[in-house]
Structure 1
Amino acid sequence: MVQAKWNGTVIAESDDTVVVEGNHYFPREAVRAEFLTDSSHSSFCPWKGTASYHNLVVDGETNGDAAWYYPDPKDAAAEIRDRIAFWKGVEVSA
């Protein structure tokens, strides 16, 4: 089981993550949506496509752009469609 925790709270938990470039991508349904807010930030990867971001909000604290996903990944990254990954101090452990 892989967990993503931030600010002492489990944000996501799944035994079905996909690891790409060292990052665990959790199925969207394994991520606790109540901790996510939309971000206007985006970034581009030549082989994965355009990433969109979420902020994490736990106990009144915000971790900006700490979760990302590819709403329409390129074919080479199709396995991460509908999955979310984390960074910026989010602890991911198996």
Structure 2
Amino acid sequence: MKAVLEGTVIAEADDAETILIEGNHYFPAISLRRGELVESPTEYTCPWKGAAQYYSLVLDGRTHTDLAWAYPTPYPTAIEKVGRDFSGYLAFDPSVQVGP
């Protein structure tokens, strides 16, 4: 599975390593290949997953604001519902193409 931004692979992982939640593929943080994640002040709390941490991605000198998000400490019930611990896994904005 690859996450591609403007023709550049920014994350890549085996399909078995990603987790599909509500139509979004969540990648392990170690799968980031290009760019630097910078914590964003954007706040969001999902009613069933918990507090999200947004990140901007700096790639080739350009900052892509709030391009990724993760749930550092999802609710235990969310982990149970998903069936896997997705703590810290990254999902990407729809402007990022995700696929094989």
TM-score w.r.t. length of structure 2: 0.84
The gaps in structure 1 that reach 5 residues or longer are none
Deviation at 1:84, TM superposition (A): 0.6
Select the structure that is richer in strand.
Answer: 1
After alignment, is 70-79 or 14-23 more displaced?
70-79
1:42/1:32 Cα in 2 relative to 1: closer, same or farther (>3 Å)? farther
Q: Equivalents in 2 of 1:87, 1:43: separation in Å?
A: 14
Asked if the contact 2:34/2:59 (under 8 Å) is kept, the reply is: no
Q: Aligned residues, how many?
A: 93
Show structure 1 runs of 4+ deviating over 6 A.
none
- The equivalent of 2:3 in structure 1 is 4
After alignment, is 17-26 or 79-88 more displaced?
79-88
The question of 1:83 aligning with 2:89 is answered yes
Q: Equivalents in 1 of 2:8, 2:40: separation in Å?
A: 20
Root mean square deviation, CA, Å: 1.5
Q: Equivalents in 2 of 1:33, 1:74: separation in Å?
A: 29
The gaps in structure 2 that reach 5 residues or longer are 80-84
**Residue identity (%):** 45
TM-score w.r.t. length of structure 1: 0.89
